[in-house]
Chains A and B, each alone.
Chain A
């Protein structure tokens, strides 16, 4: 069983309370169709557990086979710099079939952010280090493809289906909540 070598911390994008008993971390790629399919599933899992769950997301772009994956991740980070990470994240997955610069610019425009600012950030790789750091923590923790989930620092090797993720998360919740 692979362990997460770099636990979720303040440099991560999270949704849900910091003291939630269970943290679900996804390593994903905005151009990966399996991640696209898992996106609404993860949202349902989040709704099911509500404040008992903290969700975190790290980038794991396979840039050699997904030409827009890196720029998409950097766009999410650019939006995140202005506090709009999760909205951008959702829009990228929900519009996965039309990834590309026009979409990235439309997303930042939607948030009232500077399009030129995004162009500059992509050109200079302003957020490339953050994306690479995410990728490397994944590699060292046994992420071998996307999406890969960790539930409280343990790699989850089951299917990315609603029922299976709910079961695994509930099992971890029960484990954490049971007095030793």
Chain B
């Protein structure tokens, strides 16, 4: 298993394709809480459930002022087809070229398989990693850990 970036440090910035003709960088979201959900692949059944679940839970994330971003090594066109098919309403970023470079920065790349780990990060408004979780690759980690982290982040900032 990979060694995820530790909490309490600044989340490395990145700039990735979010649609075939648009980029998104983490620093553009400074001032918001951000959830990064690294996942192995579009279309695979467990991810399907996980991404579908986050799509459904997104209004709850928003109550905590958090934006969720999915990241996999799939290309932007693949993400576009996948998002359309499953009515995904949050950005899916393409860590496609150079492949897995952002996942590697976060310690969330599976070199042996050439895909992202199933890893979660919650980043605070200042861009610091507040919480992270590395799930076994075949297990959908659900949204409870993310919501617990957002709740304690909110309590801490009060």
What is A's interface to B at a CB cutoff of 8 Å? 2, 62-65, 135-136, 139-145
Contact = CB atoms under 8 A, between A and B. Distances in A.
B82 to A, nearest CB: 12
B60 interface: yes
A131 B10 CA distance: 39
Interface in B40-99: 49-50, 52-53, 55-57, 60, 86-89
Given A65-B86, A144-B49, A145-B49, A2 B56 contact: no
Contact of A144 (B87, B140, B147): B140
| Interface size bracket, B side | 10 to 19
B24 interface: no
28 contacts: A2-B142, A2-B144, A62-B52, A62-B53, A62-B56, A63-B56, A64-B52, A64-B55, A64-B86, A64-B87, A64-B88, A65-B52, A65-B86, A65-B87, A135-B56, A139-B60, A139-B142, A139-B144, A140-B144, A141-B144, A143-B142, A144-B50, A144-B140, A144-B141, A144-B142, A145-B49, A145-B53, A145-B140
A136 B142 contact: no
Contacts of A63: 56
A139 B150 CA distance: 14
Contacts of A140: 144, 147
Contacts of B88: 64
Nearest to A5: B144
B138 interface: no
Contact of A139 (B49, B57, B141): B57
Contact of B147 (A65, A135, A139): A139
Contacts of B144: 2, 139-142
Contacts of A144: 49-50, 53, 140-143
Contacts of B57: 139
Interface in B126-158: 140-144, 147
A143 B57 CA distance: 11
A142 B135 CA distance: 13
A146 B49 CA distance: 9
Nearest to B59: A132
A73 B50 CA distance: 22
B121 to A, nearest CB: 18
Contact of B60 (A136, A142, A143): A136
Query: Which of A62, A63, A136, A139 has the most CB atoms of chain B within a 10 A radius of its CB?
Result: A139
A62 B86 CA distance: 11
A142 B49 CA distance: 13
Contacts of A143: 142
A63 B58 CA distance: 13
Of the candidates A63, A136, A141, A144, the one having the most CB atoms from chain B within 10 angstroms of its own CB is A144
